Structures are given as structure tokens and as C-alpha cells.
Amino acid sequence: MSSPISRRELLKMLAFFSAGAAASWTTARFLPASFSNPNSRPNIIFIVTDTTSATNLSVYGYPRQTTPTLEKLAGRATVYHSHYSGGSFTTAGTATLLTGMYPWSHRAINQMGLVDQKIAGENMFDLIGDGYYRFAFTQNMAADVLLGQFYRDINQHLPTTSFSVRPDTLMGDRFKDTAIALNAYDDFLFDMKNDPGIPGSLLLGLAYKAFHLRREESYRYGYANYPLGLPIRKDVSLAFLNETVYDGLKSEVGDLWKQHSPFFAYFHLWSPHEPYTPNKAFMNLFKKDPYKPIDKPIALMNSGMSTSEINTQRLYYDRYIANVDDEIGKLLDFIEQAGLFENSYIIYTSDHGQMHERGIFGHVNPYLYEPLIHIPLMISAPGQNTRHDIYTHTSSIDVLPTLVNIAGREMPTEGIGRILPDLGGTEDDGRSIFSVEAKTNSAFAPLTKTTIAMIKGEYKLIYYKGYDGYDDVFELYNLSEDIEEMQNLIPKNPSNLAGLKDELLENLALANRPFEKKQ
Amino acid sequence: MKKRFPRIQDVVPVYAVISFMIYGWTFVLFFWKLPSWLHYMTLSQVFGAFSYGILTNLVESLIVIGGLLGLCAVLPSRYLRDTFVDRGSTITIIALGSLMLYQYQFGGVRFDFANDIRPWFIATFFIILLFVFLVAKIRFLKSTMLNISDRLIIFLYILIPLSVICVLDVIIRNLG
């Protein structure tokens, strides 16, 4: 009786199976899970640069070419042209991004404030779900305390001092119980903030501050590539090099890709927050360009700086943005080379903007003009290679529902945030978008000292309440005709105001209601 | 060597003054923060933050009393050791009071902070010298210091057990 398979055929089969086994082992060993499992979810790489106003980015039409990298990214992304932050500084803006709620709901309205404990459980990391490996890193202490609040939902939370020149600065990081220790030491006992800046520890708090500031100052200078001194985090006066930080991000993305796909990585970088310290290559940028910012009337609650000083700061800001854009470019090149554009969403946005006009410098002020709340949002979907432009108004409250949708999950409750157009949502030109500023209002009381901006259709209504000499004041601008907000339409045509005013005040009353009951 | 240090019954009232001021400062700022923390943190987390504060206070108070005992060891005994309660309390109240005033008036981060602080503490040093001299000369001042330090001992019955509990809490939180 002859054998059913010949010896030659048996050898062929063995060779075939051996090759197959080797190939599958190699795939499992070296390729991320998403590659070996076609049904897995795309990765999400979420990049937030602090204090980045869309009004200063060339990708949004700014005359100085500040963002060649983002322009390149725009060629393969959806660009949201009318995207607004829920708040005008880190705490309020970031909490809006991470909770999908306006500041008057999440209540992180004060500097270094936290989200209302009742709603903190439903944050971005929780809602994306444990199907993703969730990674978070921020250089901004105000954002880091929020991440600390969500620590149960984050698989890996990198210390905020990572990639700094001297990463041993924060006391809280030295304890295993980091979330509480950061609150206790760096927000209370050794408080290094400008306001109020009174440490809860009488002796060591003061000694720590004196020692830390002296040491920080001593090593900040002396880097040939940074003639203006190293970039420094004003919140904890911690120096760093942008190139080191972005190299760190590349390394983290590489590790996440190899070990934890699908992953959700949240990166929140300090630059281009002031003080503006670009490296040598960007120091002389735009020196001879013809661009001259429009002169605007000086605001009542201004920073006490002359127009010339403000314009100089704007020039430095633009240079610093160009520097940051260059670093983002290197990170995106790494992502491209790793092939991550094919299986990942790349999201770029900011927490709030920055003012360099009307005598106002910075973002710690009561205003909500376009430079403060008009922020960039660009999203590159997996494999996307064409540019899409969305002009309808969108808000940072929309980012969370969009990410939850991308993660294949549903929002537990129907919030006011919507899935972004082009990513499963639809455009709605009749929708109202809000930004809320209430830094000095108690987080546990109705908003009585606040600024609210409402953007609806072509109009933007700004309401100032509770300020000395500027109480119960409305300003109305037609953004389609007057993007620079030069013509307040109220004195000319008060009838424009009626419906918008009622809507804004109704929303404010609704937000205040739970706190009025308590009182 | 033992003769260079004050008796334990003289150290306790001065330690009571030190503890009262150091712990008191933290308590005031803690209660200022508490409404906000209750809004954002669980009770366990708030107690955790409080424990770190008390642990730090314990270290601070031991540093200050250690400093005063160090001075006793270095200086001739008539300058400090023999009048440890009244002079030690005077030094503590003025030095820590000056720190409180400075923190309250000039809180916040500025890069010239370390230089700013120098004249303030030079002035404080001379005020301490003046009062250390006066406390030996003015009976009312001396009796006031003795009374204050004696009456503050009662707080040690709260602060010491509280410190032990909080140190244990910090250790447990950082185990594993």
C-alpha cells in the first residue's frame, strides 16, 4: 500500500508550517496589536500646546508664516476654522476639554481649580474606556492636578516634571501616593504659584521657594542655543528644552506603539506659553516683515503696557510658535516614519489662546476676545490624505463626544457637546457656543463676577458681569464682517441684541440655579 | 555636654510655642483650602493632604527646637540656656511671626525673591536681639512670655497624638 503523502510532500508541508509559525511569532513579537488584529481600534494621539491662539497661526490665515508644519498637517487633516475654547486659561480650558462640559458646569473656574467631584468620574479617560491603554502627560501643573483627579482612569501618568532640566523639583512626585501628595505639597504646603503664593508650610515652604528659585535662576542661563534663557514653566518655575520634551514624546509614542496598541496618548505641552524663549534658530524670525498689527482701542482692564510693548511681545510669541511648530514637525515626522498615520487619529488643539492687543498681554484677564478663545483644532483620521475644511462653529466640549465615538463607545448621558462634523457629526450653523471666564468667582456660588461669550451664527455676544466700572455690559460683534471685533454693534443697533441677550442670560441663569438653591 | 542644654521641663513650653505657631499657620491655610477640597476630593483624600501637612509641621517644629538647642550648645549658658523659656519663646515668636508676615505680605513667585528676603531677615535678626535684651530687663515682658509658653502646652496634648496618627497615615499611603 502506498503512503498517502510522499516524503517530499511531507518535507514541503513541514517547511510551510515552520515558515508560517515563524512569521506569526515575528508578527506577534514585533508588531503592535492593532497591526496583527485588523478589528482593533485606531490609536489616538492627542497633542495640546498650551496658550496657542488660532489668530496667530498661519494655517488659520495669520500673515506671518508661524506654522509651516501645521500647514503640512492640514493637507491630510480636517481643519476646524471656527473652533472655540470653553475657557480662557488652563484650568477652565483643559477641564472643558477633558469633561466635555462648560466651566459653569464642571466648576474648574479658578486658577488651579479642580472639577466638581460629582462629575469627575466621567472624564475623557474613563469614557474612552479600558479597551485603550490610556497615557497622559502634561507640563502644566494646572492641567496635571486635573489628571491627578482622574488617576483611576489613566494607565500611565507621567510626572509633570518629566523631560525637564531638573526633574526633581516637585515634592509630590517623590511620593508613591502622587495624586494626593501633589495636592498637599505643590498646591498647598510648598505653593509656588503667583497667586496667592502663600505656602501652607511656614518654614519649609519659604525655604523651598527661596532655594528653588535661586537654583532655577542659576542654571537657566548658559545654554548657547537659548540666548534668552531656557524655556521655563511659570507655574512652578521649572526649566526645560523644547527639543528634549519633544524627543521624550517620540520615545513615549514609540513605546506605546510597540507595547500597548490601541493606545490613547494625551500630551499637553507648556510652550508657547510665556515667557517666550525661542531657541537661536528662531530668534530673528519676522524681523523685517511688513506685518503691522491693527491698532485697537485700549481696554478698560488692560495690562498697563504700551502698544509698542504689546507688539514686541506679539513678535516674540510668533517666533516661539514657529519654534514649537518646528518641534511638532519632528514629532509628526516620527509618527509618519512609524506608519502611525495609517492607524491613528492625530489630534492637535490648544486649551486657550493669548492676547496681544488692546493694551492686554497674556490670558489672565476678564476678556474673551477672539485671540483668547479662538483656538486651533486639526484632526487627521487614519489614512486620511486630503484636506477637509469645516467652517461651522465648534467648541472644545465637542472633542470628548467625538473621541468617545472614535473609541466605539457611547456617552453615558446626552451632554451638550456634539460629535464633530466630518467625524460622524453634522454641521449646525444655528448652534450657540459659549466661553466662560470666572477666575475670581467662587466655584461654589452662582457666577456673579464673570464674562460670558456666546457665538451664534455670524454674531458674538460678550457679557461682562460684576466688574468695577464694567458691570452688566454687553458687546456685540459680527464676526463674518468684523473678525477683529472693532465695531461694537450695540450702540448702533440695540435691536440686534434682544434674542441673543435673552438666550445668554437664560443659559447663565440655568447654570447658576443649582448654586442658588444651596445658598 | 548635658549641662549645655536646658532641662526638658524648659524645652517643652518653648516647643509648645513653636508647635502652636507652625501647626497653627498650616491649620489656618488648610481651613482656607478645605471648602474647595471638599468640593473636589473625597474625605479620605482630604485627610491624606492634611496628613502630609502635619508630617511637614512635625519636621519643621523639630528643626526649630533643634536650632534653639543648637544655639544653647554654642552660646554661653547665661545667654540662652539659663533663660531658655522666656528668651526661647521670644526668639520663636518674633522669628516665626516675621516669617508669617513676610509670607502674607509678599507671597507669590518672583525671581528676586531670594534677594528680597535678605533685608527682611536682617531686620528681623536685630529685632530679635533687641527683644532678647529687653525680655531680661522688663519684668512684664518676661512674665508674658512665661505665661504664653506655659498656656500653650495644652495644645501639645492634641498636636502630638495628631502628628503620630498623620505620620502613620502617610506611611500607609506610601506602602506597596
Region A322-330: mean pLDDT is 98
Task: Give the model's confidence band at A492: pLDDT under 50 very low, under 70 low, under 90 confident, else very high.
Answer: confident
Residue A268 near residue A138 (C-beta atoms within 8 A):
yes
A36-42 contacts, C-beta under 8 A, 24 or more apart: A40/A261, A40/A262, A41/A131, A41/A132, A41/A262, A41/A406, A41/A407, A41/A408, A42/A262, A42/A343, A42/A344, A42/A345, A42/A382, A42/A406
Size of interface A-B (CB pairs under 8 A): 130
Helices and strands in chain A, H and E counts: 15, 16
Task: Give the model's confidence band at A303: pLDDT under 50 very low, under 70 low, under 90 confident, else very high.
Answer: confident
Percent of chain A clearing pLDDT 90 (strictly above): 66
Alpha carbon separation from B115 to A27, A202, A210, A214, A330 (Å, rounded) = 61, 19, 9, 9, 41
Region A304-322: mean pLDDT is 95
Residues of A (163-222) whose Cβ lies below 8 Å from B: 175-177, 179-181, 183-185, 188-189, 191-206, 209-210, 213-214, 216-217
Query: Which residues in B111-143 are b (16+ Cβ under 10 Å) and which e?
Result: eebbeebeeeeeebeeebeebbeebbeeeeebe
Task: Give the model's confidence band at A26: pLDDT under 50 very low, under 70 low, under 90 confident, else very high.
Answer: very low
pLDDT of residue A31: 40
Residue A351 near residue A50 (C-beta atoms within 8 A):
yes
Pairing of strands A232-233, A238-239: antiparallel
Q: Reply yes or no on whether the pLDDT at A335 is more than 50.
A: yes
Q: Do A209 and B49 touch (CB under 8 A)?
A: no
| Residue A95: its H or E element | helix A90-99
B-chain CB neighbours of A195 within 8 Å are 108
pLDDT of residue A36: 40
Q: Reply yes or no on whether the pLDDT at B147 is more than 60.
A: yes
A-chain CB neighbours of B42 within 8 Å are 117
Nearest-Cα residue of chain A relative to residue B40: A117
Of residues A222 and A499, more confidence is placed in A499
Task: Give the model's confidence band at A198: pLDDT under 50 very low, under 70 low, under 90 confident, else very high.
Answer: confident
Region A221-233: mean pLDDT is 85
Nearest CB partner across the interface for B52, out of A107, A181, A194: A181
The Cα–Cα gap between A230 and A270 comes to 13
Residue A267 near residue A47 (C-beta atoms within 8 A):
yes
Q: Reply yes or no on whether the pLDDT at B8 is more than 80.
A: yes
The Cα–Cα gap between A313 and A317 comes to 6
Region A127-150: mean pLDDT is 93
Residue B146 near residue B86 (C-beta atoms within 8 A):
yes
pLDDT of residue B167: 97
Task: Give the model's confidence band at A261: pLDDT under 50 very low, under 70 low, under 90 confident, else very high.
Answer: confident
pLDDT of residue B36: 76
Region A465-469: mean pLDDT is 94
pLDDT of residue A37: 43
Candidate from A327-341, A438-452, B38-52, B106-120 with smallest mean pLDDT: B106-120
| Sign (positive or negative) of CA dihedral A232, A137, A188, B169 | negative
Select from A266, A259, A251 the least CA-distant residue to A134: A266
The Cα–Cα gap between A454 and A462 comes to 6
Q: What is the pLDDT of residues B71-122, one digit of tens each?
A: 999 999 999 999 999 999 999 999 999 999 988 877 655 556 666 778 888 9
Task: Give the model's confidence band at A243: pLDDT under 50 very low, under 70 low, under 90 confident, else very high.
Answer: very high
Q: What is the pLDDT of residues A60-85, one digit of tens each?
A: 999 999 999 999 999 999 999 999 99
Of residues B123 and B37, more confidence is placed in B123
The Cα–Cα gap between A280 and A269 comes to 20
Q: Do A213 and B52 touch (CB under 8 A)?
A: no
Name the pTM for this structure.
Answer: 0.77
| Residue A71: its H or E element | helix A68-74
Residue count (chain B)? 176
Select from B26, B116, B34, B13 the least CA-distant residue to A204: B26
Q: How far is A47 from chain B (nearest CA, A)?
A: 26
Region B122-136: mean pLDDT is 94
Q: Cα torsion at A176, A178, A184, A186 (round to 10°)?
A: 120
Q: Do B117 and A107 touch (CB under 8 A)?
A: no
Delineate the domains of chain A, giving CATH numbers in brackets: 37-429 (3.40.720.10)
* Residue A266 CB burial class (10 angstroms; 0-12, 13-18, ≥19): buried
- For residue A70, the cross-strand partners are none
pLDDT of residue A28: 42
Q: Which residues fall within 8 angstroms of residue A396, CB to CB, at 6 or more apart?
A: A83, A84, A85, A86, A93, A96, A97, A349, A351, A375, A377
B-chain CB neighbours of A213 within 8 Å are 109-111, 113-114
The Cα–Cα gap between A89 and A211 comes to 28
Residue A191 near residue A205 (C-beta atoms within 8 A):
yes
Helix, strand, coil: what percent of chain A each, to 5? Answer: 40, 15, 45
pLDDT of residue A18: 59
Phi, then psi, of A302 in degrees rounded to 5: -90, 180
Nearest-Cα residue of chain A relative to residue B27: A200
Q: What is the pLDDT of residues A43-60, one digit of tens each?
A: 999 999 999 999 999 999
pLDDT of residue A228: 87
Task: Give the model's confidence band at A3: pLDDT under 50 very low, under 70 low, under 90 confident, else very high.
Answer: very low
Domain map (residue ranges) of chain B: 2-173
B-chain CB neighbours of A192 within 8 Å are 109
